[in-house]
A = this chain, B = another copy of it.
Amino acid sequence: MKTINVELEHNAYPVYLGHGLLSDSSLWRKHLATGKTLIVSNDVVAPLYLDVLRGALNGIDQEIHIIPDGEPMKTVETWYGIVDSLIAMQARRDANIIALGGGVVGDISGFAAASYMRGIRFLQAPTTLLAQVDASVGGKTGINHKQGKNLVGAFHQPAAVVVDTATLATLSAREFNAGLAEVVKYGAIRDPRFFSWMEDNAAKISDREEASLNYLIYRSIMNKAEIVAEDEKEAGVRALLNFGHSFGHALEAETGYSEFLHGEAVAIGMVTASRLSEARGLCEPGTTGRISELLTRFGLPVSMPAQTEMSGLLSALQLDKKAVATGLRLVLLEAIGQSIVDSNSKQNDVVNAIEQSLGSKQAST
Interface residues of A (CB under 8 A from B): 9-10, 34-36, 76, 80, 83-84, 87, 90, 92-94, 111, 114-119, 140-142, 145, 147-148, 150-155, 233-234, 318-319, 321, 323-325
Contact = CB atoms under 8 A, between A and B. Distances in A.
Given A35-B325, A83-B145, A325-B36, A90 B155 contact: no
Contacts of A10: 9-10
Nearest to A117: B321
Contacts of A151: 83, 87, 116-117
Chain A interface secondary structure, helix, strand, loop or mixed? Answer: mixed
25 contacts: A35-B324, A35-B325, A76-B76, A76-B80, A83-B151, A83-B152, A87-B147, A87-B148, A87-B151, A92-B321, A92-B325, A93-B324, A94-B324, A94-B325, A115-B115, A115-B152, A115-B154, A116-B151, A116-B152, A117-B150, A117-B152, A117-B321, A118-B140, A118-B141, A154-B154
A76 B87 CA distance: 15
**Copies of this protein, total:** 2
Nearest to A36: B325
Nearest to A140: B118
A119 B154 contact: yes
A153 B115 contact: yes
B36 A87 contact: no
Nearest to A153: B118
Contacts of A36: 325
A242 to B, nearest CB: 12
A11 to B, nearest CB: 12
A153 B142 CA distance: 14
Contacts of A94: 324-325
A165 B151 CA distance: 36
Contacts of A153: 115, 117-118
Contacts of A233: 119
Contacts of A115: 111, 115, 152-154
A167 to B, nearest CB: 27
Given A10-B10, A324-B35, A325-B94, A118 B154 contact: yes
A118 B84 CA distance: 22
Contacts of A150: 117-118
